[in-house]
Chain A
Amino acid sequence: MQTAEKHIRKYTGKRYRLEKPELLAPAGNLEKLKFAIHYGADAVYIGGQKYGLRSNADNFSFEEMREGVEFAKKYGAKVFVATNIYAHNEDLAGIEEYLRNLYDAGISAVIVADPIIVDTARRAVPGLEVHLSTQQSTVNWQAVKFWKEEGLPRVVLGRETSLEEIEEIKKHVDIEIEAFIHGAMCSSYSGRCVLSNHFTDRDSNRGGCCQSCRWKYDLFEDGRPDEAWISEEEAMGDPVLQQFQLGVNQLPLFDEQDNAFTMGSKDLCMIEHIPDLIDVGVDSFKIEGRMKSIHYVATVVNVYRQAIDAYMDDPENYVLKPEWVEEINKAANRPLNTGFFYDTPDHEDHIYEPEEKAAPYDFAGLVMDYDADTGMAVIQQRNHFKPGQEVEFFGPGGTFFKQTVTAIWDEDGNELDAARHPLQKVKIKVDQPVSYFDMMRKKK
Chain B
Amino acid sequence: MGYKPELLVPAGSLAEIGAYLEAGADAVLIGETRYGMRLPGDIRANEVAEAVQLGHKHGAKVYVSVNKLLHNDQLEELRDYVKALGEAGVDAIQFGDPAVLQAVRELAPQIALHWNAEMTSTNYSTANYWGSKGATRAVLARELNMDEITEMQPHLQVEAEVQVHGMTNIYHSKRRLVQSYMMHQGRPVEGGDLGKERGLFLIEAERKEEKFPIYEDDNGTHIMSSDDICILEDLHVLLAAGVASFKIETLLKSPAYNKVVIQAYRKAIDAYIADPDQYEMDEAWIESIRRVQDPERELSFGFFYKEQVY
Interface positions of A (Cβ within 8 A of B): 55, 86-92, 113-116, 119, 135, 137, 139-143, 145-147, 158, 160-161, 165, 168-169, 187-189, 191-195, 197-199, 201-203, 205-208, 212-213, 215-224, 226-227, 229-233, 235, 249, 253-255, 258-259, 261-263, 265, 340, 344-347, 349-350, 352
Q: Is B204 an interface residue (CB 8 A)?
A: yes
A140-B70, A219-B202, A232-B295 known; A193+B172 contact, CB < 8 A: yes
Q: In the complex, are the beta carbons of B175 and A220 less than 8 A apart?
A: no
B118 contacts A by Cβ under 8 Å: yes
B69 to A189, Cβ gap below 8 A? yes
**Sampled A-B contacts (8; CB under 8 Å):** A114-B126, A115-B129, A194-B143, A215-B204, A220-B200, A261-B181, A346-B179, A347-B181
* B241 contacts chain A at the CB level, 8 A cutoff: no
Contact stretch, chosen from B46-54, B85-93, B97-105, B277-285: B97-105
Known: A91-B123, A229-B295. Contact between A142 and B102, CB under 8 A? Answer: yes
* Inter-chain contact A92/B125, CB cutoff 8 Å: yes
Q: Interface digits, B177-189 against A, CB 8 Å rule (1 contact, 0 not)?
A: 1111111110000
Are A168 and B72 in contact, CB atoms less than 8 angstroms apart?
yes
The answer to the question of B124 belonging to the interface, with a C-beta cut-off of 8 Å to chain A, is yes
- Chain B residues within an 8 Å CB radius of A158: 69
Determine if B173 is an interface residue (Cβ-Cβ < 8 Å).
Answer: yes
Identify the interface centre among A203, A221, A224: most chain B CB within 10 Å of its CB.
A203
Instruction: Bits for B266-282, please: 1 = Cβ < 8 Å to A, else 0.
Output: 00000000000000000
| Given contacts A92-B125, A139-B70, A346 and B199 within 8 Å (CB-CB) | no
The minimal Cβ–Cβ distance linking A11 to chain B, given in whole angstroms, is 15
- Chain B residues with Cβ below 8 Å from A235 are 295
- Could you say which residues of chain B place their CB within 8 Å of the CB of A147? 98
Task: State whether A229 touches B171 (Cβ < 8 A).
Answer: no
Establish whether residues B225 and A219, one from each chain, have CB atoms under 8 Å apart when the complex forms: no
| Alpha-carbon gap, A240 to B114, bound state (A) | 48
- Smallest distance from the beta carbon of B260 to chain A beta carbons, Å? 10
A-B contacts, CB under 8 A, total: 232
Chain A min CB distance to B296 (Å): 7
Q: B231 to nearest A CB, angstroms?
A: 17
CA distance in complex: A394, B202 (Å): 46
Is B160 engaged at the interface, CB distance under 8 Å to the other chain?
no
Residues of A with C-beta under 8 A to B57: none
Question: Which of B4-12, B14-22, B243-251, B301-309 contacts the other chain?
Answer: B301-309
Question: Known pairs A89-B152, A140-B99. 17 more at Cβ < 8 A?
Answer: A86-B122, A114-B120, A114-B123, A139-B71, A142-B102, A143-B99, A187-B175, A197-B119, A202-B310, A203-B308, A217-B205, A219-B181, A219-B201, A219-B202, A229-B294, A230-B257, A346-B175
Q: In the complex the two chains form, is B143's CB within 8 Å of A115's CB?
A: no
Q: Decide if B292 touches A230 in the complex (CB within 8 Å).
A: yes
**Which residues of B approach A to under 8 Å, CB–CB?**
69-72, 74-75, 97-99, 101-103, 118-120, 122-126, 129-130, 143-144, 148, 151-152, 155, 170-185, 198-205, 207, 211-212, 214, 221, 223, 225-226, 254, 256-257, 291-296, 303, 306-310
Contacts of B180 in A (CB 8 A): 345-347, 349-350
Contacts of B152 in A (CB 8 A): 89
In Å, the complex CA distance between A218 and B204 comes to 6
- Name, among A89, A158, A199, the residue most crowded by chain B CB atoms within 10 Å (CB to CB): A89
Contacts of A89 in B (CB 8 A): 123-124, 148, 151-152, 155
Most buried by B among A187, A197, A255: A197
Q: Which residues of B contact A265 (CB under 8 A)?
A: 175
Interfacial chain A residues near B202, Cβ < 8 Å: 217-220, 261
